[in-house]
Amino acid sequence: MAAGRAKSLLVPLFLTILSVLQAPGRITFDTDLGLALNPGHLLARSAHLWSAENGFGGVGDQTYGFLFPMGPFFWVLEKVGLPVWLVQRLWCAVVLVLAYEGARRLVRRTVSLDDSVAVVAGLAWALSPRMLTVAGPFSSEALPMAVLPWIVLPLVRYAAEDRRRAALLSGVAVLGLGAVNASATLAVLPVPFLYLLTRPWAVRDRVRALLWWGTAVVLATAWWLGPLLFLGAYSPPFTDWVEAAATTTGPVGVLNALRGATDWLAFVPSNGGGFWPGAWLLATNTALVVLTTVVGLLGLAGLASRRLPERRWLVPLALLGLIALAAGHASSAGSPFAATIRSLLDGPLVPFRNIYKFDGVLRLPLLLGFAHLLVRLRSVRVPALRRAVPFVAAALVLGVAAPAFAGELRPGPGFPAVPSWWKQAADAMARTPGRTLVLPEATSGRYTWGRTIGEPLEALATPA
């Protein structure tokens, strides 16, 4: 029994070590610089929709989303006295382990009880291109992918016998999605919705299950839905000043959607490499393009199998995800509806303009298809081939994670600490009434002592 428990901790330990080895000793940008420099102040700001500290005052952009679970994690561990850089890596480790364990359990429930297949599939989910792309620089957007299997698990386990219990537990998991980015949270909900919609039950039973689940989701998201509506009504139209649909959909054709290169920021160059180094490698490195394509095609082959468990759920789900990701791609081999889709994403569907947030809708059926194919290959008559299957599959999955082994998941180079003179300047600003104009402007936080991306004074200069 003890040996079995120790064995089950090997992969979580591996993922934790892998996370800690990303730029050790250096603070890097992750979602909001305030998490690293002053999480207590960020949480205090998150409790109020209006902030007098933003320029001349304004409505904070979804800062309330830090109230749970990301903000408290940083605040508690930094209060304990852990180094800031280590807190960042531990949070990333929690996200990766959560993703691994949820996917492993879901595969065991839906595809096979084969432990080797479940472990490889769990790793494939935790080390998928989408997770590796954002786990370092924007882990708040990796969280919905990590939590998604946990939302589906209660439905798989209990929905047939106790729909209220299944809905309640699924709603508790929805609470874990957070709300730093509301559209990223909402983008994964079609997965459990379609699961309930495709149950082989009477129509009345499906409607009841959907009503119970919908109620649980509303209760789990009520704490941020209200502020989100307020934000939409009173905040400046910031979506007019950021990336357009042509930018977000441009790189994502069918092939990139299949292999998981769905984030346009992964294709942004910087200093001979990428703005996000690990994501750049996944998007452009020839060997990684081949590996991610192979894994995607294996998942597609598993989806095509008529013996696939939950085929009536997974095949429509995969089609929905592929359409959401690739329908706006304009090229000679692209979508014939690209212009219409882009117009919608720049108009009424602007909250979902960053279409990479729908990656999980396609990635989950591909993952379960991948696991099913491994099960089929494990049933071949040649014993040597049966034994080799999980090892070859694990090699493919770990090959995709090459940027993590190279230590490239964080947006470097970061910095060991904010220099003392910046803190002194921030303290002086906090004691002085009125506004302070910071010159010269730094649009991406590049300083001689490190790259912060965010503005340090915004986090450090707390009012007296």
CB-side exposure of 15: number of CA atoms within 13 Å?
27
Predicted confidence pLDDT, tens digits, the chain (464 residues): 555 666 689 999 999 999 999 999 999 999 999 999 999 999 998 888 887 776 677 777 788 999 999 999 999 999 999 999 999 999 999 999 999 999 999 999 999 999 999 999 999 999 999 999 999 999 999 999 999 999 999 999 999 889 999 999 999 999 999 999 999 999 999 999 999 999 999 999 999 999 999 999 999 999 999 999 988 888 877 778 889 999 999 999 999 999 999 999 999 998 778 889 999 999 999 999 999 999 999 999 999 999 999 999 999 999 999 999 999 999 877 788 999 999 999 999 999 999 999 999 999 999 999 999 999 999 888 888 889 999 999 999 999 999 999 999 999 789 999 999 999 998 888 888 777 888 877 777 888 898 898 889 888 877 65
Residue among 392, 381, 360, 385 nearest 294 (CA): 392
Q: Residue 133, Cα to own-chain centre: how many angstroms?
A: 9
Q: Please give the pLDDT value at position 325.
A: 97
Q: Please give the pLDDT value at position 55.
A: 65
Q: Cα separation of 325 and 355, whole Å?
A: 6
Residue 92 amino acid letter: C
Residues β-bridged to residue 27 = 415
Q: Cα separation of 96 and 132, whole Å?
A: 9
Q: Residue 374, Cα to own-chain centre: how many angstroms?
A: 25
Q: Please give the pLDDT value at position 160.
A: 87
Q: Cα separation of 297 and 280, whole Å?
A: 21
Helices assigned H by DSSP within 327-358: 338-345
Quick check: helix, strand or coil at residue 269?
strand
Burial of 334 (0-12, 13-18, 19+ CB in 10 A): middle
Q: How far is CA 380 from CA 302, 386, 388, in A?
A: 15, 6, 11
Q: Give the count of beta carbons closer than 10 Å to the beta carbon of residue 5.
A: 8
Task: Write down the residue that tokens 């919705």 correspond to.
Answer: 193
Residue among 209, 189, 186, 187 nearest 197 (CA): 209
Q: Please give the pLDDT value at position 48.
A: 85
> E strand or H helix at 274, and its extent?
strand 273-274
pTM: 0.95
b/e code 204-236 from CB counts within 10 Å (16+ = b): eebebbbebbeebbeebbeebeebbeebeeeee
Strands 58-59 and 50-51: antiparallel
E strands, 14-54, are: 50-51
Farthest CA pair distance, the chain: 79
Strands 450-451 and 446-447: antiparallel
Q: Cα separation of 88 and 307, whole Å?
A: 43
Residue among 387, 396, 375 nearest 297 (CA): 396
Task: Write down the residue that tokens 């995709």 correspond to.
Answer: 400
Q: How far is CA 16 from CA 12, 273, 373, in A?
A: 6, 26, 28
- For the chain, what are the domain ranges? 19-405, 420-460
**Is the backbone peptide bond immediately before 149 cis, with ω within 30 degrees of 0?**
no
b/e code 423-445 from CB counts within 10 Å (16+ = b): bebbeebeeeeeeeeeeeeeeee
pLDDT tens track for 238-294: 778 889 999 999 999 999 999 999 999 999 998 778 889 999 999 999 999 999 999
